[in-house]
Structure 1
């Protein structure tokens, strides 16, 4: 993943340098127009995204090796209920808090450029930036021109929903290159799979469910609970309808429109 982004960085730098040289030879007026803010022609926003375990820079959480353990600790520090308790002295992630601060102020996370996971991790520990690399990458992929990630982020419905790959650009000012943003529409996007012969295995793994006795018992229990809930709602609806009918009849009787003996 990082190698692909490093190679892309070299290609984009060559393109930017070439376009800059051509632009300098055109006219002073065009040069002035093209440099009025925003990236130079040819510049893009490219970013890599991986699991929390690979991107976390929290001093304690990043020491964990197990992916699920890292995810668990991260959520405990970043969940809304945990952040609400921060005023009472509860622990929170300072990197995530810095990220939220930047998001709320609509400041720019990073200018256009090519950023590997290592680049994002380095900026996550720098005082100038200090935000969470994982959540920053998730935000930037919404407006990035090129996104490099694992198969699961494209093929696995659970993971792709979490990363919001190809989703609408929620806050364009956070990463605002002056060009068409891929995040605005996936219709014209190009998806390139490296080692594409593995796609079958990834799809099978992502969309398969392993059944065992415990899972079957849990499923049967859930079905029973659902059946009981449906029956309860039916009874409540029937009783509500009966009560409504009685009130309607009583109202008509009081108005003299029907026989009181009905």
Structure 2
């Protein structure tokens, strides 16, 4: 079907109503191809839920379950980051590397930061009132660690996140107000969110899904937008690209390793011969 015919709104309306009727189906996982599509789905969802709750209120049928909805989108660090070193990176790979260099457990341990806590610890309670905690400017003084991640580790993992639909801009604003890393806030929140919107790769790529999606409920409804792209996504996720220069370096390393092993064997044999002769 062509774009603009209301497919997304229809699907969201139906599934969210089904979730309201069947509370045991606690999560909708909506997979998209691009960041723009992900944000558009969240914006559509916000309008759908607002209209639905208005109609339920008119009929005196509005319940707590209808209003207590948490929806989040998850994308790459580069798109959900407040640290200038990451946002100014030239590529996604560079952004990921810079982020890991500031948040890895061994890096934090070497700077005396609190040890990283388990990903499954401290899931958000979602009935909290909205409040703002403005981060101090001094947090950016230490370039070796990310101040937003450190504040999320100390305050965010057990903190309260209000109900609502968090588009990318909304999550960035929330993280900026609290001084928390928006990427890790969103990544942690998907475990308790009613609606999760993210890229195909987070569910289909075994390397990524094992880190991001392993704790999501089995009783989830999964939607693949533009599902005819699934084949290509799976092929890409399970393929390995090798270049000639990489193979040549591997061959050189193997030759050096073989020569070193032969050298050690000859040395040991000579030592034994000398010792027992």
Q: Same fold (TM over 0.5)?
A: yes
Task: Name the CA shift for 1:219/1:189 in 2 (closer, same or farther; >3 Å).
Answer: farther
Q: For 1:200 and 1:215, how far apart are their aligned partners in 2?
A: 28
Q: Deviations over 1:163-220 (max 9, x none)?
A: 2x2x43xxxxxxxxxxxxxx3x21x311111111211111111111123445556778
For the 8 Å contact 1:98–1:131, the answer to whether it is kept is yes
Does residue 107 of structure 1 match 2:159? yes
1:109-160 Cα deviation digits (max 9, x unpaired): x22211111111112222xx11101101110111111111111111111111
Q: Counterparts of 1:86 and 1:203 in 2: how far apart (Å)? A: 40
In structure 2, the residue matched to 1:91 is 144
Q: Which has the larger radius of gyration?
A: 1
Map of 1:159 onto structure 2: 208
Question: CA 1:42 to 1:123, structure 2 compared with 1: closer, same or farther past 3 Å?
Answer: closer
2: CA distance, partners of 1:138 / 1:215: 34
Is the Cα contact below 8 Å between 1:83 and 1:92 reproduced in 2?
yes
Note the 1:242-257 alignment, pairs <5 A.
none
Distance between the aligned counterparts of 2:180 and 2:156, measured in 1?
Answer: 10
User: Distance between the aligned counterparts of 1:7 and 1:192, measured in 2?
Assistant: 15
Between stretches 3-12 and 154-163, larger displacement belongs to: 154-163
Say which of 47, 51, 54 aligns to 1:17.
54
Instruction: Give unmatched runs, 5+ long, in structure 2.
Output: 1-37, 114-141, 258-277
Q: Distance in 1 between matches of 2:110 and 2:86?
A: 19
Q: What is the deviation of 1:21?
A: 3.5
**Corresponding residue for 1:147?**
196
Is there any run of 5+ residues in structure 1 with no aligned partner, and where? 25-30, 169-182, 226-262
Three-state SS of the structure 2 residue aligned to 1:60 is helix
Count how many residue pairs are aligned between Structure 1 and Structure 2: 193
> Do structure 1's residue 68 and structure 2's residue 93 form an aligned pair?
yes
Partner of 2:232: 201
The offset of 1:81, in angstroms, is: 2.1
What residue is the counterpart of 2:184 in the other structure? 135
Q: 1:98 to 1:206 in 2, by over 3 A?
A: same
Could you say if the C-alpha distance between residues 91 and 216 of structure 1 is closer, same or farther in structure 2, counting changes exceeding 3 Å? closer
Q: 1:19 to 1:102 in 2, by over 3 A?
A: farther
Going from structure 1 to structure 2, the CA distance change for 1:43 and 1:17 (only over 3 Å counts) comes to farther
Q: Which has the higher relative contact order, 1 or 2, with Cα contacts under 8 A spaced 6 or more apart?
A: 2
The 1:90/1:7 distance shift into structure 2, 3 A limit, reads closer
Between the aligned partners of 1:58 and 1:51, the Cα distance in structure 2 is: 14
Higher strand fraction (1 or 2) = 2
Deviation of 1:16 after TM superposition, in Å, equals 2.2
SS of 1:114's equivalent? strand
Secondary structure at 2:72's aligned position in 1?
strand
User: Are the aligned partners of 1:19 and 1:42 in contact in 2 as well (CA < 8 Å)?
Assistant: no
